Chain A
Amino acid sequence: MASSRLERIGNIYTRVRGLLRSGAMKPEDKPIWYDVYEAFPPKIEPQYGRTASEITIRPIFYPEDVIRAKFYERFGSPGLISLANNEYPTPCQKFLDRYKEMEKDFSDESELFEAVVKVMEDEKSVAESSSSNQPDRGTSMASMFSAAVNKSQPQPKINFGDLLTEK
C-alpha cells in the first residue's frame, strides 16, 4: 500500500486524497479518518510553513488598575494571596469595593482615595476592638479545614495564603 511521508507538503488530507485519486491507494485501503475529516475539516488547514499573522498582542488593563496601583504604592503587598480561593476578598479587593460605593459622593480622585482609606482604617479598628466577640471569620486553620470538608468541590485543606494575611 502506498503512502506519503512528506509532512511539509500540503497536509495529511491533501496527500491521501492525491493517492486515492491517482490510484496508488485503493478505495478499500482508505483510512478511517478520511471521511470524518471531509465531513468536519479543521477551521484552519494545517500546513507546515504557514506564515504567522501580523497581529500585535494587546495589553489587558482595567480602569480599576489605577486604584490598585495607588493602593499597593501606599500599603504594599499583603504577602501571599491565594488566587484559587474566591471567597475571602483580599485587602485590595475590599478597598476597591468600598471605593466604588463612595465614588458618587466625590469628584476629586485624590480626595476620594483619602476618604476611602480613612473609612477602611476606621472599620479595621472597630473590628479589632471587638474581635474577641465576633465569631471566627474563617481565617484560622481549623475553620478553613472544616469549611473545606463540608464543601462538595475539592478545596485545599490548608490555605497558607489566608493564614499569613492580616484580617
Chain B
Amino acid sequence: MEYEAAVKAPLKLKGTANKDIQKKLKKKNKEKIKNEGESSKPKDPNETLVSYKQPVVKTKAQLKFEQMKEEQQKKRILEKASKTHKQRVEEFNRHLDSLTEHFDIPKVSWTNQNATSLKADQLADIQQNEIKEISDPLRFPDYFGVRNLFRVKDLFDAKVHYGHKEGTLDPNMKPYIFGSRLGYLIFDLDKTAELLQDALNFTAHIAYRGGIILFVSHFPQHTLTVENAAKQAGEYAHAREWDFHIFTNSEKVYNGVTRLPDLVILLSTLNPQMQEHTAVKDAAKMCIPTIGIVDSNSNPNLITYPVPGNDDSPAAVQLYCNLFRDAILLGKSKKQVSC
C-alpha cells in the first residue's frame, strides 16, 4: 500500500564515507591519473588501483559549530563552579523575599480570618466532618491495639489448649479442635488466637462507646477472679446463681426501670449441672451480643463471638479475665482522650 512508496535505499549522511560518491570519485581520479599517468609511466592495465577511502569531511559550518559548542560548555562549567549550593539557596531566598505576596497560595486559617470564598460556618462543618472521618475508630482494623495484649505462647502457658475427652465433644466444636492426644482433645491455638482477638476488639469498641459490660460465670472456683476483673475494669459481674428472669423480666425482678448490659462476656458457657448457661439463650433473646469461652463440651451456636478454649483451669480463666479487663480499659482510656 503506502509502503510501496517508501525509499528503501540507505541513508545518505553528510560527511560520512559514501560508497556511491567513492565510486564517482574513484572514477574521476582514475581518469585524472590516467591522464597524468600517460605522461609519466605507462601503467600496467591489469594493475588495480589503490582503493583509497575518502576521509570523513566535515563542512566549515560543522567545524565552526563544534568549536563554539566546546567554548560554551567550558563557560557553563566555570559559571556553575563559581557558587556553592548554599550560596545559591541564599540568593534564591533573597530573590523570593523581594517579590510581592500577591501570587502566593491562599492560606485557609483555622480562625477563618482570611477565608473569603467560603462562609465561616461551612468551613467549620467541613473540617469537623473530616476530623470525624479520619478519627472514627471503626475504620481501623485494630484501633485499640488489642493484638498486642497476648501471644499464642501466653495461651499455651495458661493451658488454654486443653479440652475435655473425646466422649464429651460437642459436634459444633469440631472445627476448632487441633487433634486428640490419646483421647484428650487439644484446641487449635491459631484459631483461638484469631477469634480471641476479634472478641477483644469488639469489647474495646463497646467500652469506647460507653456500653455496659457484664462478666458472667457460674463456676464457684472462678467467682473471685471474675468479680475482681470486673471491678478493676469498672464494669459489672454476675458470678453467682443465675436468676431466671434477670434479662427477660428485669423490671419485675428489680422493681424498676432497668438498663440491660450492652455486652455479656461468659467465662464459661456451662453451669455446674453441665447444661448451657441461661445467660446464653437470654442474651440472644434480648438482642445482647455475647462473647463466650467455649470448651469442647459447649455449644457455640448462639454465641456472637465464641472463643474456643479451656474454661476449667484457673490459669486459663485468669488469663481471659486479664485480657478482657485490659481491652475494656484500653477502650475507656481512648474515650477520655477524645472527649
Instruction: Report whether A57 and B179 are in contact in the complex, using a CB–CB cutoff of 8 Å.
Output: yes
State which of A31, A46, A50 has its C-beta within 8 Å of the C-beta of B287: A31
Select from chain A the residue with minimum beta-carbon distance to B169: A57
B210 close to A (CB within 8 Å) = yes
CA distance A48 to B302 in the complex (A): 5
Q: In whole angstroms, what is the CA distance A146 to B330 when docked?
A: 38
Given the known A-B contacts A3-B286, A31-B262, are A50 and B201 also in contact in the complex, defined by CB atoms under 8 Å?
Answer: no
CA distance A42 to B304 in the complex (A): 7
Tell whether, in the assembled complex, residue A15 and residue B287 are in contact, meaning their CB atoms are under 8 Å apart: yes
Partner pick for A39 among B138, B263, B289, CB 8 A cutoff: B138
Interface size class of A (residues with CB under 8 A): 20 to 34
- Provide the bound-state CA to CA distance between A15 and B171, in Å: 26
Q: How many A-B residue pairs have CB under 8 A?
A: 97
Interface residues of B in 276-294 (CB under 8 A from A): 281, 284-289
Query: Is A50 a contact of B301 with CB atoms below 8 Å?
Result: yes
Do B285 and A46 touch across chains, with their CB atoms under 8 A apart? no
Residues in chain A near residue B289, CB distance under 8 A = 12, 33, 37
Complex: how many Å from CA A85 to CA B202?
A: 35
| Contact, CB under 8 Å: A32 / B209 | yes
Interface residue stretch chosen among B98-106, B121-129, B180-188 = B180-188
Interface flag for A4 (CB, 8 Å): yes
B195 within 8 A of A: yes
Nearest CB of chain A from residue B193's CB, rounded to whole Å: 12
Contacts of B284 in A (CB 8 A): 7, 11-12, 46, 48
Q: Is the Cβ of B198 less than 8 Å from the Cβ of A7?
A: no
Q: Count chain B CB atoms within 10 A of each CB in A6, A46, A47 and give the residue with the most.
A: A46
Question: Does chain A have a CB within 8 A of B305?
Answer: yes
CB contacts (< 8 Å) of B182 on chain A: these are 59
* Known contacts A33-B262, A36-B202, A46-B302; A60 and B138 CB within 8 A of each other: no
B205 (CB) vs chain A CBs: closest residue:
A36
Residues of B within 8 A of A39 (CB): 138-139, 205
Contact A60 B179 (CB under 8 A): yes
Q: Tell me the bound Cα distance from A55 to B209 in angstroms.
A: 40
Given contacts A7-B302, A46-B301, contact A60 B186 (CB under 8 A): yes
Which residues of chain B have C-beta atoms less than 8 A from A53's C-beta? 174-175
- Nearest chain A CB to B169's CB is how many angstroms away? 7
Task: Tell me how far the C-beta of A58 lies from the nearest C-beta in chain B, rounded to whole angstroms.
Answer: 5
Q: How far is the CB of B313 from chain A (nearest CB, A)?
A: 11
Minimal Cβ-Cβ distance residue in B for A54: B174
Q: A36-B202, A46-B303 are in contact. Are A60 and B178 (CB under 8 A)?
A: yes
Taking a contact as CB atoms under 8 Å apart, the answer to whether B166 and A5 are in contact is no
- Name the contact of A33 in the complex, choosing from B178, B180, B206, B303 (C-beta under 8 A): B206
Is B36 interfacial (CB-CB < 8 Å)? no
User: Which residue of A40, A48, A57, A60 is within 8 Å of B198 (Cβ)?
Assistant: A40
* A7-B304 Cα distance, complex, nearest whole Å: 12
Q: How far is the CB of A21 from chain B (nearest CB, A)?
A: 15
Bitwise interface map of B from 227 to 246 toward A, beta carbon under 8 Å scored 1, else 0: 00000000000000000000
Closest B residue to A39 by beta carbon equals B138
Q: Mark A1-28, 1 if CB is under 8 A from B, else 0.
A: 0011111000110011000000000000
Residue in B169, B171, B181, B198 whose beta carbon sits within 8 Å of that of A59 in the complex: B181
User: A154 to nearest B CB, angstroms?
Assistant: 10
Judge whether A66 is part of the interface by a CB distance below 8 angstroms: no
Which of chain A's residues have a CB closer than 8 A to the CB of B154?
none
Closest 4 CB pairs of A and B: A52-B171, A7-B284, A60-B179, A39-B138
Residues of A participating in the B interface, judged by any CB pair closer than 8 Å? 3-7, 11-12, 15-16, 31-33, 35-37, 39-40, 42-44, 46-50, 52-53, 55, 57-60
List 30 A-B residue pairs with CB atoms under 8 Å apart, sorted by A's residue number. Answer: A3-B286, A3-B287, A4-B287, A5-B248, A5-B286, A6-B285, A11-B284, A15-B287, A32-B209, A33-B206, A33-B263, A33-B289, A36-B138, A39-B138, A39-B139, A40-B198, A40-B205, A42-B305, A43-B194, A43-B198, A46-B304, A48-B284, A50-B172, A53-B174, A57-B169, A58-B179, A58-B180, A60-B179, A60-B180, A60-B186
